[in-house]
């Protein structure tokens, strides 16, 4: 009975998936019981969803065709209805069909896939450059073409989240602020281990690897706050390494730049492995003897 209830729930989820994707609430952060991909806020994310929908249709048609074919074979060619099976070993038409058709399907999938890979890789005309450096366990942001403005972004502790009414394990002390409608080039790097700069609603995901700078880009088409996380398991506080991007009009961004240069000009340089008191997530380094105990 439990199997049939789970099977029914799975079938219902498949049937309702297209409807959920088309009527998804306008949300930049995860929502409980969401179904389907989130609302796109960038051209890359929109292209990702279009490719997802194309592949979903193709795989659904293939699955239904194979299922119906299996049912037809079981009904039409069972032992009772077909006591003397055919001895045909080869059929040229069938062999050509089941070779050519899968190749054509893969070509249909491959063309938009490669186009998306190159489209998401980098932008030829960036209007702003941001460098995102991963540390255990926080992010460091630099604006190279804005006077090398530099600051750190730590996840807020549960106490600070409760006081400020923000999202637990997603809110940060200093958000990455960018102008709306501008192509933002992002250069990812790491100061220790491999991290990942991942913002689902903007369709951005790039590894941050020590000793290597990797480029990507995004464009926020609407003003708002977009949440992400490091999705590369990078140590004890991996789950406490959120990313928050706030997209604002250009005038507001220019005003923020003036304020930020004053705010972060006297800030102490970041120390890897340490967290400010407001973050409340400073890791405790264990000795070998403590680990063995």
Q: Which residues, 6+ apart, have CB-to-CB distance to 14 below 8 Å?
A: 60
- Write down the pLDDT at residue 88: 73
CB atoms closer than 10 angstroms to residue 293: 7
- Write down the pLDDT at residue 263: 87
The answer to whether the bond into 41 is cis (omega within 30° of 0) is no
> Mean pLDDT of all residues in the chain?
80
- Write down the pLDDT at residue 28: 66
How far is the C-alpha of 132 from the C-alpha of 138, rounded, in Å? 10
How far is the C-alpha of 244 from the C-alpha of 75, rounded, in Å? 57
The rounded percent of the chain whose pLDDT value lies above 90 is 44
Confidence of residue 267 (pLDDT cuts 50, 70, 90): low
> Which of 43-57, 74-88, 97-111 is least confident?
74-88
- Write down the pLDDT at residue 277: 39
Walk me through the domains of the chain, giving residue ranges and CATH numbers.
Answer: 37-80+93-121 (1.10.287.90), 128-263 (2.60.40.420)
The 242-248 sheet, strands edge to edge: 176-179, 242-248, 224-229, 195-199, 204-208
The per-residue DSSP string of 224-249 comes to: EEEEEE--S--STTGGG-EEEEEEE-
Q: At which residue do the structure tokens 């239904």 appear?
A: 64
Residue pair 122/215 in contact (Cβ under 8 Å)? The answer is yes
Confidence of residue 86 (pLDDT cuts 50, 70, 90): confident
- Where are the strands (E) in 201-293, listed by range? 204-208, 214-218, 224-229, 242-248
Quick one: CA torsion of 124, 194, 210, 285, rounded to 10 degrees? 150
- Write down the pLDDT at residue 122: 85
How does 54-77 read in b/e, with b if 16+ C-beta sit within 10 Å? Answer: eeeeeeeeeeeeeeeeeeeeeeee
Query: How confident is the model over 25-73, as pLDDT tens digits?
Result: 334 666 778 777 778 888 999 999 999 999 999 999 999 999 999 999 8
Query: How confident is the model over 211-256, as pLDDT tens digits?
Result: 999 999 999 998 989 999 998 888 888 888 999 999 999 999 999 9
- Write down the pLDDT at residue 80: 82
Structure-block tokens of residue 193: 């281990």
How far is the C-alpha of 51 from the C-alpha of 57, rounded, in Å? 10
> pTM for this one?
0.72
CB atoms closer than 10 angstroms to residue 78: 10
CB atoms closer than 10 angstroms to residue 170: 18
């Amino acid at each position: 009975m439990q199997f049939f209830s789970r099977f029914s729930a799975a079938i219902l989820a498949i049937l309702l998936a297209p409807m959920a994707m088309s009527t998804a609430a306008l949300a930049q952060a995860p929502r409980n019981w969401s179904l389907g991909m989130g609302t796109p806020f960038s051209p890359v994310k929109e292209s990702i969803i279009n490719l997802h929908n194309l592949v979903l249709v193709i795989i659904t048609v293939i699955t239904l065709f194979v299922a119906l074919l299996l049912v037809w074979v079981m009904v039409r060619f069972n032992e009772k209805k077909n006591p003397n099976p055919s001895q045909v070993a080869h059929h040229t038409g069938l062999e050509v069909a089941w070779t050519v058709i899968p190749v054509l399907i893969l070509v249909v999938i491959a063309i938009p896939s490669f186009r998306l890979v190159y489209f998401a890789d980098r932008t030829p005309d960036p209007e702003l450059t941001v460098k995102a450096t991963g540390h255990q366990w926080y992010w460091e942001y630099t604006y190279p073409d804005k006077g090398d403005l530099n600051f750190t972004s730590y996840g807020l502790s549960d106490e600070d989240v409760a006081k400020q009414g923000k999202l637990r394990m997603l809110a940060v002390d200093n958000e990455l602020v960018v102008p709306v409608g501008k192509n933002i080039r992002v250069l990812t790097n790491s100061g220790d281990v491999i991290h990942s700069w991942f913002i689902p609603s903007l369709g951005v995901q790039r590894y941050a690897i020590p000793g290597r700078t990797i480029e990507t880009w995004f464009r926020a088409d609407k003003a708002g706050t977009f949440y992400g996380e490091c999705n590369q398991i990078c140590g004890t506080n991996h789950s406490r390494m959120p990313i928050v991007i706030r997209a604002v009009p250009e005038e507001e961004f220019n005003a923020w730049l003036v304020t930020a240069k004053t705010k972060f000009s006297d800030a102490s340089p970041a120390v890897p492995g340490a967290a400010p008191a407001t973050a409340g997530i400073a890791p405790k380094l264990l000795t070998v003897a403590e680990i063995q105990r």
